[in-house]
Chains A and B, each alone.
Chain A
Amino acid sequence: MANKSIPKKEFFAPIKAWKYIFKKPVTIKVPYVKREAAERYRGFHINDWNECIGCGTCAKICPTDAIRMVEVDDLPHEYGKKPQRPVIDYGRCSFCAMCVDICTTGSLKMTREYVHVSPEPEDFIFAPTEKGIHGIEDVPVGWIRDEGSDLLELERVEMEMIEGEGRSKSFIEYVKGYSKEQAMHEAARCVECALCTDRCPQHMQIPEYIKAIWRDDLTDALKWLLKGNEENNMLGANPFSAVCGRVCTHKCEEACSLGNRGEAIAIRWLKRYIVDNVPEYDKVLEARPENKGKKVAIVGSGPAGLSAAYFLATMGYDVEVFESLSRPGGVMRYGIPSYRLPDEALDKDIAFIQALGVKIHVGVSVGKDIPLQKLKNEFDAVFVSTGFTLGRSTGIPGTEHEDVIQALPLLREIRDYLRGEGPKPKIPKSLVVIGGGNVAMDVARSMARLQIMEYGKVDVKVTSLERTYEEMPADMDEIEEGAEEGVKFYPGWGPVRIVIKNDKVRGIELKKCLQVFDENRRFNPKFDENERQTLEAEMVVEAIGQAPDYSYLPEDLKEKLEFVRGRILTNEYRQTSVKWLFAGGDIVNGPDIIHGVADGYWAARGIDEFLTKGVK
């Protein structure tokens, strides 16, 4: 025996036991004294419904399937939230608290309540609220998630980029893209709540392709991108995945449940990773559909037009696209700078669409070279997606000067010049850009690059009515990266006049903006007329919005169409009030590539219904 020898029995032991008669008993006293549970006690659940977004992650981690998500009718359906709340079955719950540790918002906690008695089995199944199982105010909180028990990874894998000074010297794409390890790591963060799918205008099957990345099955991932949910008529497919993997407005990331406590999944970069790493992706669409013997004409080769062409081609229609410029792509080709979207990425998407048999006629201007009526006669249906091609002007004195120009024509000129297809644009030594959106940022950053190439230094100023960077409609990334590249910002100023001396632009006079929107969120700017400043510039670019050009529409057709604030009114299938004419893209939903893709999808389905069933 290492410590003690085994004791011998004692003859007097029974007598010694009597000494315990006066000792305090070690057992619990009667009457029962209520016991307070420990601070970390894993009792019943509470859930703050204001914080809860119904993502269902708690139900997914539950090892006993004790949690199910239940639709709650009273809850509003907002983006980034589901009208669902967890219901917990305490007949199954193992009180492991993993649901608390993985909760994406931190709304779920456990209490220190540990007694619940009821003859009704149903009383053990309930949707927790802030009041716990017994409806008590100020329920004592037990187990809560902390840094040690957190089951989510809240920081995204950082994207490598060319640094500010280096990238401003060229138009080379500055976002490097994820490596395989980085992409798989980022994909491993997803909780598959599908709030992103709900938010995406095209309802892309985002959790599915992220999961495929995580499994390192890029072929499957690409199928989800290009074919979407096949069982539901390819809902969620996106033929412009290479484009959207770079320049999408990524509304999905705004809805990502991880964004509540940490950084949203880098969905846009993951999409790019897929398309960049599958060299030949036309094999994804293995089966070609039977030709339906009907033809559809598409006017405009932007995201909406070519997307409609893609979906129609996959349905078996002959599709011809008419583009007035020398290359297809619309705003993607001519409006977005190549450092954000290189031609190669766009060409990859378009080549895939063409591989399906879509014919693209470039340099053909409908309304000039070919009347719309002719398309109507020669094709079974027509889809127009001509985009916003005209710039808007502030209309202040001096804007008629030749050195006061519009953003879109300038961006087009720059891209043509960089492709070697046009003359060098005028590069001023100093420039003011009016506008706070992404187009203004594109102009400012493009001109900053040209100035560096030409003069070795940057003098680009951006002024906008919006008084803070958060108010500005541009992505924060664009603003921050622009600042790193040398662009200076003057938010909260409204233009008064262009300063012109000796017939040359010398600058722009501004007045302080006090308010952009009124209490009803309507555009209603107010200014302090006394507080003014002048920014020096040799050139001023107006980037305050774009407008459609409907000159190709015959007058009699225009009269039959309905317009709302300059946009064509359509039904959900993008069918106009003229049955054979469908419309989409900017002229229906405003400037956004992913909206354009969604328009193309719904228009294709509408055209299919129209041509096969003659309905709608």
Chain B
Amino acid sequence: MGEVKLFFGPNHPGMHGNFSVHMYVEGDTVEKARPLPGFLHRGFEKLMERRLWYQNLALIPRICVPEPDINEACYAMAVEKIAKIDVPERAQWIRMIVLELARIASHLMSFPGIGGTIGLYTSSFWGVSDRDRILDIFESLTGARVYHMYIIPGGVRKDLTPKIQDLIFNTLNYIEERLGEYETLIFKNRIVHTRLKGIALLDKETALELGVTGVGLRATGVPYDIRKVDSYLFYDKVDFEVPTATEGDAYARVYLKYLEIYQSIKIIRQCLEKMPEGKINVPISEGNALRYRVPKGQAYVHIESTRGEYGYYMVSDGGEKPYRVAVRGASYPQTFIGIEKYLPGTRIEDVPIWLSTMDVCAPEVDR
């Protein structure tokens, strides 16, 4: 039997977003793989150059749907860096809470979601269901469940009320309790061990060479986390650890995500304790939002997303719109080079495991 060309995605239940992989297979083994992005055709970066500074708030969360707040924070922080704006302290603590909640929400969809790929559907249902509780918090805080449009240049849009703080507190307790059950269901499960251990291996040297960050890199033993190595907001004022592993396989990556949820809960609790009263935002410019202007300058801002290093390089020509915006999508290296380099030699059924554990986010690649 000769080489056969197969399409994995864009309309495949195991595919993440509108993305496609062209596989050339020999029997059950992938011989060659080509990533094929471009099904979204949104052109976020160019669209941003045609919108006012403030209007982009409605666009940027769409770049990575499971984790919209990362984009909001990156955009806001880049504007603030160019415009040299001091964000109120309370707003910075609130941002940390939002970002960590977003991390939990994303991980809750991601690590139990591996069950959808390998046949352990209970974990997927649990994950989505528990994630909904985080979305309830977002709804109370930001007025929306997915596209929050909450973190703005200069601060955040609405204050964190005591009622919402109670909701966060109670939800965190619930999630923490549930994590034990996840461990039993997923990480002590024979199916998971059989399907993930030793699969989709990535070694440290190659990960560094490709520019893979996040759990993909940390699963190879490198404790690289921007919250620690180039701290932003008040991450240097809270106590947390960066879980790492040395196995470099799919199982290690999934388990690291699980462990990170504990750390996020720990961070949020500290934020709720340390957060002072005060203002929640300052205008980025004089006048109204239709006439905000950012002084000439450029900035690169990077923060730690669930997928790794997420970055915005922005240039302002002093006008009412960004002159140039370039997004460093966190899942870009493992999506492009990783697929070409690492899928050959794997079996067909292991392809979605790579994509899932490496957190490929299609619009973030397609931007």
A63 in contact with B288 (CB, 8 Å): no
B290 in contact with A192 (CB, 8 Å): yes
In the complex, what distance in Å separates the CA atom of A1 from the CA atom of B185? 20
In the bound complex, residues from chain B placing their C-beta under 8 Å from that of A101 are 157, 289
Partner of B287, one of A6, A146, A149, A153: A153
Does A595 lie at the interface of the complex (its beta carbon under 8 Å from any beta carbon of B)?
Answer: no
- Per the 8 Å Cβ criterion, residues 340-358 of B in contact with A are none
In the bound complex, residues from chain B placing their C-beta under 8 Å from that of A38 are 136, 139-140, 143
In the complex, what distance in Å separates the CA atom of A153 from the CA atom of B292? 11
In the bound complex, residues from chain A placing their C-beta under 8 Å from that of B54 are 61, 98, 151
B158 in contact with A40 (CB, 8 Å): yes
Does B142 lie at the interface of the complex (its beta carbon under 8 Å from any beta carbon of A)?
Answer: yes
- Per the 8 Å Cβ criterion, residues 64-114 of A in contact with B are 64, 94-98, 101-102, 110
In the complex, what distance in Å separates the CA atom of A106 from the CA atom of B130? 37
| Number of chain B residues whose Cβ lies closer than 8 Å to a Cβ of chain A | 60
In the complex, what distance in Å separates the CA atom of A41 from the CA atom of B58? 16
In the bound complex, residues from chain A placing their C-beta under 8 Å from that of B158 are 40, 146, 148-149
In the bound complex, residues from chain B placing their C-beta under 8 Å from that of A148 are 155-159, 280-281
A40 in contact with B55 (CB, 8 Å): no
Per-residue contact bits, chain A 10-24, to B (CB 8 Å; 1 contact, 0 not): 110110110000000
In the complex, what distance in Å separates the CA atom of A82 from the CA atom of B335? 53
In the bound complex, residues from chain B placing their C-beta under 8 Å from that of A7 are 183, 187-188, 255
In the bound complex, residues from chain A placing their C-beta under 8 Å from that of B223 are 2
A41 in contact with B287 (CB, 8 Å): no
A153 in contact with B283 (CB, 8 Å): yes
B289 in contact with A188 (CB, 8 Å): no
Of B27-35, B236-244, B267-275, B359-367, the one contacting chain A is B236-244
In the complex, what distance in Å separates the CA atom of A3 from the CA atom of B223? 13
B242 in contact with A6 (CB, 8 Å): no
Partner of B241, one of A3, A37, A64, A149: A3
Does B5 lie at the interface of the complex (its beta carbon under 8 Å from any beta carbon of A)?
Answer: no
Does A268 lie at the interface of the complex (its beta carbon under 8 Å from any beta carbon of B)?
Answer: no
Shortest distance in angstroms between A91's beta carbon and chain B's nearest beta carbon?
Answer: 15
- Per the 8 Å Cβ criterion, residues 31-86 of B in contact with A are 51-52, 54-59
In the complex, what distance in Å separates the CA atom of A17 from the CA atom of B130? 19
A63 in contact with B125 (CB, 8 Å): no
Shortest distance in angstroms between B202's beta carbon and chain A's nearest beta carbon?
Answer: 16
B286 in contact with A188 (CB, 8 Å): yes
In the complex, what distance in Å separates the CA atom of A196 from the CA atom of B188? 71
Per-residue contact bits, chain A 33-57, to B (CB 8 Å; 1 contact, 0 not): 0000111111000000000000001
In the bound complex, residues from chain A placing their C-beta under 8 Å from that of B142 are 40
Does A310 lie at the interface of the complex (its beta carbon under 8 Å from any beta carbon of B)?
Answer: no
In the complex, what distance in Å separates the CA atom of A411 from the CA atom of B244? 87
In the bound complex, residues from chain B placing their C-beta under 8 Å from that of A64 are 58
Does A115 lie at the interface of the complex (its beta carbon under 8 Å from any beta carbon of B)?
Answer: no
Does B296 lie at the interface of the complex (its beta carbon under 8 Å from any beta carbon of A)?
Answer: no
Does B111 lie at the interface of the complex (its beta carbon under 8 Å from any beta carbon of A)?
Answer: no
In the complex, what distance in Å separates the CA atom of A41 from the CA atom of B129? 20
In the complex, what distance in Å separates the CA atom of A185 from the CA atom of B193? 63
A6 in contact with B187 (CB, 8 Å): yes
A8 in contact with B252 (CB, 8 Å): no
Does B326 lie at the interface of the complex (its beta carbon under 8 Å from any beta carbon of A)?
Answer: no
- Per the 8 Å Cβ criterion, residues 295-312 of B in contact with A are none
Does A615 lie at the interface of the complex (its beta carbon under 8 Å from any beta carbon of B)?
Answer: no
Q: Given that A61-B55, A149-B158 are contacting pairs, would A42 and B288 also be in contact in the complex, using a CB cutoff of 8 Å?
A: no
In the complex, what distance in Å separates the CA atom of A26 from the CA atom of B285? 46
In the complex, what distance in Å separates the CA atom of A7 from the CA atom of B251? 10
B143 in contact with A10 (CB, 8 Å): no
Shortest distance in angstroms between A293's beta carbon and chain B's nearest beta carbon?
Answer: 48
A142 in contact with B143 (CB, 8 Å): yes
Partner of B140, one of A1, A40, A94: A40
Q: Given that A27-B129, A40-B143, A148-B281 are contacting pairs, would A6 and B247 also be in contact in the complex, using a CB cutoff of 8 Å?
A: yes
In the complex, what distance in Å separates the CA atom of A88 from the CA atom of B124? 37
Shortest distance in angstroms between B284's beta carbon and chain A's nearest beta carbon?
Answer: 11
In the complex, what distance in Å separates the CA atom of A180 from the CA atom of B352? 60
Does B199 lie at the interface of the complex (its beta carbon under 8 Å from any beta carbon of A)?
Answer: no
Shortest distance in angstroms between A149's beta carbon and chain B's nearest beta carbon?
Answer: 5
In the bound complex, residues from chain A placing their C-beta under 8 Å from that of B149 are 94, 96-97
Shortest distance in angstroms between B15's beta carbon and chain A's nearest beta carbon?
Answer: 24
In the complex, what distance in Å separates the CA atom of A97 from the CA atom of B185? 41
B291 in contact with A188 (CB, 8 Å): yes
Shortest distance in angstroms between A160's beta carbon and chain B's nearest beta carbon?
Answer: 18
In the bound complex, residues from chain A placing their C-beta under 8 Å from that of B51 are 63
In the bound complex, residues from chain B placing their C-beta under 8 Å from that of A209 are none
Most buried by A among B247, B263, B288: B288
Does A573 lie at the interface of the complex (its beta carbon under 8 Å from any beta carbon of B)?
Answer: no
A-B contacts counted at CB < 8 A amount to 150
Shortest distance in angstroms between B19's beta carbon and chain A's nearest beta carbon?
Answer: 23
B252 in contact with A6 (CB, 8 Å): yes
Considering only CB atoms, which chain A residue lies closest to B126 in the complex? Answer: A26
In the bound complex, residues from chain B placing their C-beta under 8 Å from that of A10 are 188-190
In the bound complex, residues from chain B placing their C-beta under 8 Å from that of A6 are 187, 245, 247, 251-252, 255
A39 in contact with B140 (CB, 8 Å): yes
Partner of A110, one of B143, B187, B255, B286: B143
Partner of A1, one of B52, B155, B244, B285: B244
Does B262 lie at the interface of the complex (its beta carbon under 8 Å from any beta carbon of A)?
Answer: yes
Does A9 lie at the interface of the complex (its beta carbon under 8 Å from any beta carbon of B)?
Answer: yes
Partner of A63, one of B57, B183, B241: B57
Considering only CB atoms, which chain B residue lies closest to A39 in the complex? Answer: B140
Does B226 lie at the interface of the complex (its beta carbon under 8 Å from any beta carbon of A)?
Answer: no
Does B259 lie at the interface of the complex (its beta carbon under 8 Å from any beta carbon of A)?
Answer: yes
In the bound complex, residues from chain A placing their C-beta under 8 Å from that of B255 are 6-7
Does B217 lie at the interface of the complex (its beta carbon under 8 Å from any beta carbon of A)?
Answer: no
Does A266 lie at the interface of the complex (its beta carbon under 8 Å from any beta carbon of B)?
Answer: no
In the complex, what distance in Å separates the CA atom of A104 from the CA atom of B149? 21
A185 in contact with B286 (CB, 8 Å): yes
Shortest distance in angstroms between B129's beta carbon and chain A's nearest beta carbon?
Answer: 5
Considering only CB atoms, which chain A residue lies closest to B181 in the complex? Answer: A20
- Per the 8 Å Cβ criterion, residues 344-362 of A in contact with B are none
Shortest distance in angstroms between A172's beta carbon and chain B's nearest beta carbon?
Answer: 30
In the bound complex, residues from chain A placing their C-beta under 8 Å from that of B190 are 9-11, 13-14
Considering only CB atoms, which chain A residue lies closest to B260 in the complex? Answer: A3
In the complex, what distance in Å separates the CA atom of A38 from the CA atom of B245? 40
Does A189 lie at the interface of the complex (its beta carbon under 8 Å from any beta carbon of B)?
Answer: yes
In the bound complex, residues from chain B placing their C-beta under 8 Å from that of A143 are 143
In the complex, what distance in Å separates the CA atom of A79 from the CA atom of B336? 60
Does A152 lie at the interface of the complex (its beta carbon under 8 Å from any beta carbon of B)?
Answer: yes
In the complex, what distance in Å separates the CA atom of A4 from the CA atom of B262? 11
A2 in contact with B58 (CB, 8 Å): no
Contacts A9-B190, A153-B286, A191-B290 aside, 8 further interface pairs with beta carbons under 8 A come to A1-B259, A38-B143, A63-B58, A95-B147, A96-B147, A98-B55, A148-B280, A149-B157
Interface positions of A (Cβ within 8 A of B):
1-4, 6-11, 13-14, 16-17, 26-28, 37-42, 57, 60-61, 63-64, 94-98, 101-102, 110, 142-143, 146, 148-149, 151-153, 184-185, 187-192, 214
Q: Jot down 22 A-B pairs with beta carbons below 8 A, ordered by A.
A: A2-B223, A7-B255, A26-B125, A26-B178, A27-B125, A38-B136, A38-B140, A40-B141, A40-B158, A60-B290, A96-B147, A98-B54, A98-B55, A101-B289, A102-B288, A142-B143, A143-B143, A148-B158, A151-B54, A153-B287, A188-B285, A190-B291
* A-B pairs, 8 with minimum CB distance: A188-B287, A151-B289, A63-B55, A40-B143, A9-B193, A63-B58, A42-B143, A10-B188
